[in-house]
Amino acid sequence: MIQNDKAYKLLALQEGISNRAAKELIDRGAVYAAGKKILLARADMKANTVFKIEKLKKPEIIFEDDKITAVNKPPFLTSEEVAQSFKLTLLHRLDKETSGVLLLSKDDEFTKKVIATFKAQKVVKTYLAVVSGRFAQSVTIDTPLQIMKTKSGAYAKPSKDGQSALSTVTPKFIEGKNSLVEVSIQTGRTHQIRAHLKSIGFPVMGDEKYGGKSASRIMLHAWKISLLGYSFESPLTDDFAKFGKSV
């Protein structure tokens, strides 16, 4: 008879995989039980817990030439893992659960130009997010963010001592008690959009770290990015349809 145990050990038994593989799935944010995401691999769980695992998708190429490859990053993969899979240089990062356009470089000189363009804040990035609440009026958030290091990873909090961070939030449409919003940023601080949306009382669905309600993942999507004459767009992933969202 299986005894109550750590979540990753019970998951390993259920799936017939190693403890390490089970822990990695939970750490990715891809494991659920009773409709709720398992946040800690070492959480104590009942022996009869039934786990559900979100299927991990592969990144797909949107565009490529001799300098750059733009890919659709699916949720639950790190940006570094995507870059390694293509054996190319990572030009920027998306959070693990964030989907959308991710850029990789094929050329060292081009990489230097992109880095300089990011530093000069000449990259235009637009995201889509499902947020809790009825968001009806555009707002610009000019709130510095201080990045704190915690045991569970980085955490961004508003602080006058933090780094400058500017986000413009525009409503797309409202459905029930949730809204689809468009967020444009020039600065790219860690967790900038997630922290800024929380600061105005509209946390991203699934972003429990920043007060969001439970969802299959953090409902944040890197929709468009433009730099150095290039412009790329990624369609919303299927999981946004659960909230009735499409663009």
Entry pTM: 0.84
Task: For strands 124-132 and 99-105, give the pairing.
Answer: unpaired
Q: Where in the chain are the domains?
A: 5-53, 60-243
Beta bridge partners of 232: 225
Check residue 1 and give its pLDDT.
53
Tell me the two tokens of residue 218.
């953090």
Average pLDDT, the chain: 89
- CATH of 5-53, picked from 3.10.290.10, 3.40.50.620, 3.40.50.12780, 2.60.40.1180, is 3.10.290.10
Determine the 3-state secondary structure of 11 from DSSP.
helix
Write out the catalytic residue numbers: 95
Residue type, 78: T
Q: Order of strands across the sheet with 51-53?
A: 36-37, 31-33, 51-53
Q: Which residue has the higher pLDDT, 220 or 15?
A: 220
Check residue 204 and give its pLDDT.
96
Tens digit of each residue's pLDDT (9 = 90 or more) over 18-76:
888 888 888 887 888 887 788 788 888 888 888 888 888 899 999 999 999 999 999 98
**CA-closest candidate to residue 204, choices 150, 146, 156, 152:** 156
The verdict on domain 60-243 having CATH code 3.30.2350.10 is yes
Tens digit of each residue's pLDDT (9 = 90 or more) over 191-224:
999 999 999 999 999 998 899 998 888 999 999 9
| Range of weakest confidence among 9-18, 88-97, 230-239 | 9-18
